[in-house]
Amino acid sequence: MRPPLPVVAPVPIPETRLTPQPAKAVPITPARTPAAVLDTGWEKRIRSGNIAPDMSIDLHGHNLAGAHVRLNQALAAAIARDVRVLLVVTGKPPKASSHGDSSRRGAIRGEIGHWLETSPYADRIASVRIAHPRHGGDGAIYLILRRKK
């Protein structure tokens, strides 16, 4: 048999006013997706120019529709050959000028990001980087492709 529990007087709680505190600002950083992250070895090779593209395609000089088709064909061929680095020459981006004559300059360059995002091969693209000056600099990009699993 258990002994009866002792009776304890309630403890008074001091009156406190709860004032809403502003929420602490937490900086929102974009999530690093696997598609954007390369290991340091890759990054060093790209920065130093010690990367040799396995395949390249030159899109500048084509109209937008033709360049889009050629890009998808090149991606299909690169994936079929298990290429790791595809060099895509797009042409230089538009120069800042006060003249209105550069309206079409850099059109392919402006669209290529959208084309790659909506490509049927988007899941095979590990990363997109601006090419080293020896491979075209601002006028070209490296597409680092994922290996087959």
Q: Does some domain include residue 11?
A: no
C-alpha 120/C-alpha 104 separation (Å) is 27
Q: Is 148 exposed, middle or buried (0-12, 13-18, 19+ CB in 10 A)?
A: exposed
The span from the CA of 45 to the CA of 147, in Å, is 18
Per-residue pLDDT of the chain (149 residues; tens, 9 = 90+): 677 777 776 767 666 666 666 655 555 444 444 445 677 777 888 787 888 899 999 998 889 999 999 999 999 999 999 999 999 998 877 676 545 554 566 788 888 889 999 999 999 998 888 888 888 888 889 999 988 77
Instruction: Tell me, yes or no, if the pTM score tops 0.75.
Output: no
For residue 83, the domain's CATH number is 3.30.1370.110
Indicate whether 88 belongs to any domain.
yes
- Strands 125-130 and 140-145 turn out to be antiparallel
Question: Could you tell me if residue 47 is inside a domain?
Answer: yes
Domain count for the chain, please give it. Answer: 1
